[in-house]
Amino acid sequence: MQTYTNTSESWGDAVEATIEDYRAQDEINGTNHAWTEDGEHIYCDGEPVADAVTTDAQIRDHLMQREGVERVKISRDGSVHVYGNMPRGDGGQLPWWQFVGWRDEIAAKIAAESNG
């Protein structure tokens, strides 16, 4: 089941949730909105209220497009490393593991690139 991040101010803080979570909250609120999803967004009565959360698979696919990258490792602490024959500034041994950032930051970058 796809997870989404809330983008509508009327639904409170940005949190990760599924469409079933939105429907359950709607029931708690005593309202009866029409909820739909298309894999990229959740819609409330036809208006987008949440964007899809970038998955680890999407992060891996994105990073594997880089030249020289052979593997991607996403650790439990959120750190992301790539392994391959990427250039090294210190002239060290190849291939090597290189830290490329934090999962949330890379996911945000991917989302920003896909939105515009």
Domain containing 84 equals 56-115
Q: How many domains does the chain have?
A: 2
Q: Is 7 left (phi over 0), alpha (psi -120 to 50) or beta?
A: alpha
Distance (Å, whole) CA 59 – CA 74: 9
| Maximal C-alpha separation, the chain | 64
Distance (Å, whole) CA 65 – CA 50: 27
At 65-89, the pLDDT tens digits run 999 999 999 888 889 999 999 888 8
| Claim to verify: residue 25 and residue 11 sit in the same structural domain | yes
| Claim to verify: residue 9 and residue 48 sit in the same structural domain | yes
- Count how many Cα atoms sit within 13 Å of the Cα of residue 9 in the half-sphere of its side chain: 0
Question: pTM of the predicted model, to two decimals?
Answer: 0.56
At 26-50, the pLDDT tens digits run 888 888 899 988 877 788 898 888 8
| Claim to verify: residue 82 and residue 95 sit in the same structural domain | yes
Computed on alpha carbons and rounded to an integer, the radius of gyration of the chain in Å comes to: 18
